[in-house]
């Protein structure tokens, strides 16, 4: 079984993927981890690498290729990433949403940043990503038509979110 989980920064996609991975005893990979690893390989911050990626389509293509290769060799896998559902044949495609202020507050907590700084950085990053996705792949990140399940993660705790996903798997 292949599951994709996508959502903007701070929606809880990584937390959900980790918990679901443990509960279902199947591995997960993260496109964000791949992006961060590539930024580190390039000796750049996430924001610097995001700006670099705007002018270098090879970055996004490499992220997609790394995900695809991992998925092709797996029968059971959770793939967490904003565009994973577009490039991976999955049994269940999930998108997570949460209000902007809640997402920023979550990011403040995990990155020890002020709300104002985190808010500014999230906006810059999301604008950069949306531009890249549209320019490179012709994907409008706000079009949710390809997803089977859309979850507001502000309404549920992480354990409840994984239970909703597991319940959904039982009916597909």
Q: Which residues of the chain have pLDDT under 50?
A: none
Specify if 58 maps to a domain.
yes
Structure confidence at residue 73 (pLDDT): 84
Structure confidence at residue 4 (pLDDT): 96
Instruction: Write the secondary structure of the chain as one string of H (helix), E (strand) and C (coil).
Output: CEEEEEECCCCCHHHHHHHHHHHHCCCEEEHHHHHHHHHHHCCCCHHHHHHHHHCCHHHHHHHHHHHHHHHHCCCCEEEECCCHHHHCCCCEEEEEECCHHHHHHHHHHHHCCCHHHHHHHHHHHHHHHHHHHHHHHCCCCCCCCCCCEEEECCCCCHHHHHHHHHHHHHHC
Structure confidence at residue 50 (pLDDT): 83
Specify if 11 maps to a domain.
yes
Instruction: State the residue range of the domain holding 127.
Output: 2-166
pTM of the prediction?
0.86
Residue 135, domain CATH: 3.40.50.300
Specify if 143 maps to a domain.
yes
Specify if 171 maps to a domain.
no
Specify if 17 maps to a domain.
yes
Specify if 142 maps to a domain.
yes
Structure confidence at residue 137 (pLDDT): 87
Structure confidence at residue 65 (pLDDT): 86
């Amino acid at each position: 079984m292949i599951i994709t989980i996508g959502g903007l920064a701070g929606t809880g996609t990584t937390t959900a993927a980790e918990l679901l991975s443990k509960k279902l005893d199947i591995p997960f990979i993260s496109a964000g981890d791949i992006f961060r690893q590539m930024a580190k390989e390039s000796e750049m911050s996430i924001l610097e690498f995001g700006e670099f990626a705007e002018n270098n389509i090879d970055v996004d293509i490499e992220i997609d290729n790394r995900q695809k290769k991992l998925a092709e060799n797996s029968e059971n896998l959770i793939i967490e990433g904003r565009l994973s559902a577009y490039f991976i044949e999955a049994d269940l495609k999930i998108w997570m949403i949460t209000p902007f202020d809640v997402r920023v507050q979550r990011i403040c907590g995990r990155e020890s940043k002020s709300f104002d700084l985190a808010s500014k950085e999230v906006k810059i990053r999301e604008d950069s990503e949306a531009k890249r996705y549209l320019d490179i792949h012709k994907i409008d990140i706000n079009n949710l038509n390809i997803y089977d399940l859309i979850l507001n993660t502000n309404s549920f705790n992480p354990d409840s979110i994984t239970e909703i996903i597991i319940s959904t798997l039982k009916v597909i």
